[in-house]
Amino acid sequence: MPSLVGRSLLTLLDYTAEEITAIIDLADRVKRERAEGVRPRRFEGRTIALIFEKRSTRTRCAFETAFGEEGGHPVFLAPGDIHLGEKESVEDTARVLGRMFDCIEFRGYRQSTVEALARFSGVPVYNGLTDSYHPTQVLADLMTVRERFGSLRGRTVAYVGDGRNNVATSLMIGCAKLGVNFTVGAPAELEPDPRLTAQLKEIAGTDGAVITSTTDAKSAVRGADAVYTDVWYSMGEEAKAAERTALLRPYQVDETLMAATGNEKSIFLHCLPAVKGNEVVASVIDGPRSAAWDQAENRKHTIKAVMLATLGLS
């Protein structure tokens, strides 16, 4: 396994295909350990600061249980608990936390905040979600696809919905790095950033993978091994709910859209939480082709793998 000791995870753009694959391999191992009842104490005597500007179910539970069940001490820090960016600069908070904790997780709004924490703390910092990227989610997504199909290179993932949000962006990065074909089906107003798309097309092309986009949902999913969607408006965008609902209604994942893959083995993916009846119907996300619950579990295993690797405990 390539050494990741001391590294932060801010975006998968910073990681090579070999490094991403090594994290997923390690996540497979820790998942097997848990299934077999093996409970090492690899985090014993260590601490992690969990900073949450945005609420969470999967990210918080994954970090807390992954760290705590192996003897570590997670400390949850909500906005009302600390002075992050208010009364005290992010840089000064980072300097203090870096002297008290072995690592830091941040889930919030600005990518610049998690970058400052990494730059000034001197310890590994993990991006649990910003408005720009969601790398820990995509590690779980890729792990889930590989579990279902046995491999990643040459597979096809189709994302339909808001194509410029943090999940779609990070998923495109992860797929490009690992040679997975990636198609976005989104309205023109919500297509991915064209500069990033151009960069990732070059990266994907080195492995023979293709990145494409279309405004037609059925065209986007044709031939897909996995159909992925997310909520129609993210945290902090509630004022745009009506506008986004009207714009994205044609991209709802229902049985008809799943059938449009032409692939009987295709699976459904969702980062959760889901608004059933909006971006996906209940019969799909709760049905036999859904891998959303495997994805949710795999958040824990991939996050544990990242922490073990970057703390030199793997």
Confidence of residue 72 (pLDDT cuts 50, 70, 90): very high
pTM for this predicted structure: 0.96
Positive or negative, the CA dihedral 273, 145, 4, 171 is negative
Section 209-233 average pLDDT: 97
Same domain, yes or no: 267 and 174: yes
Q: Return the bridge partners of 159, or none.
A: 184, 228
Q: What pLDDT digit, counting tens, does each position of 259-284 carry?
A: 999 999 999 999 999 999 999 999 99
3 domain residue, yes or no: no
CA distances from 184 to 87, 155, 200, 291 (A): 42, 15, 13, 19
Asked, for residue 2, whether it belongs to a domain, the answer is: no
Per-residue pLDDT of 89-107, as tens digits, reads 999 999 999 999 999 999 9
Which residue has tokens 């902090």? 236
Q: Are residues 21 and 79 in the same domain?
A: yes
Residues 6+ apart with CB under 8 A from 50: 60, 63, 64, 74, 75, 76, 77, 105, 128
pLDDT band of residue 241 (cuts 50, 70, 90) is confident
Assign 87 a pLDDT band (cuts: 50, 70, 90). confident
Whether residues 199 and 64 fall in one domain: no
| 159 & 271 share domain | yes
Is 6 inside any structural domain?
no
Residue 138 has pLDDT above 80, yes or no: yes
The answer to whether residues 59 and 155 belong to one domain is no
* 156/67 same-domain check: no
Q: Which residues are catalytic?
A: 107, 134, 137, 230, 271, 299
Count of domains for the chain = 2
Q: Does residue 69 sit within a domain?
A: yes
Asked if 74 and 150 sit in the same domain, the reply is no
Does position 146 have pLDDT exceeding 90, yes or no? Answer: yes
Strands 103-107, 226-229: pairing kind: unpaired
Greatest CA separation found in the chain? 56
- 168 plus 286 within the same structural domain: yes
Structure tokens that stand for 247 in this block:
């714009």
pLDDT greater at residue 173 or residue 238? 173
Burial state string for 253-288 with b = 16 or more CB within 10 A and e = fewer than 16: beeebbebbebeebbbbbbbebeeebbbbeebbeee
Q: Quick one: pLDDT at residue 261?
A: 98
- Asked if residue 253 and residue 195 are part of one domain, the reply reads yes
Q: Work out the pLDDT band at 236, boundaries 50, 70, 90.
A: confident
Is 1 inside any structural domain? no
Q: Is the pLDDT of residue 233 over 90?
A: no
Among 270, 291, 301, which residue's Cα sits nearest to residue 65?
301
Considering the domain architecture, whether residues 286 and 306 belong to the same structural domain is answered as: no
Evaluate whether residue 212 is within a structural domain.
yes
* Domain that includes residue 111, residue range: 12-133+299-310
3-class state of residue 214 by DSSP: strand
In this prediction, residue 238 carries a pLDDT of: 82
Cβ contacts of residue 153 below 8 Å, gap of 6+? Answer: 178, 179, 180, 207, 209
Q: What pLDDT score was predicted for residue 83?
A: 80
Banded model confidence at residue 166, pLDDT cuts 50, 70, 90: very high
- 194-219: average pLDDT: 95
Task: Assign 81 a pLDDT band (cuts: 50, 70, 90).
Answer: confident
Do residue 193 and residue 54 come from a single domain?
no
Q: What is the mean pLDDT of residues 124-134?
A: 98
Is residue 86 very low, low, confident or very high in pLDDT (cuts 50, 70, 90)?
confident
Q: Is 213 domain-assigned?
A: yes
Q: How confident is the model at residue 84 (pLDDT cuts 50, 70, 90)?
A: confident
Q: For residue range 38-63, what is the model confidence (pLDDT) as tens digits?
A: 999 999 999 999 999 999 999 999 99
Domain CATH code at residue 46: 3.40.50.1370
Does the residue 287 lie in any domain? yes
Q: Residue 239 above 90 pLDDT?
A: no
What is the pLDDT at residue 82? 86
Q: Are residues 110 and 196 in the same domain?
A: no
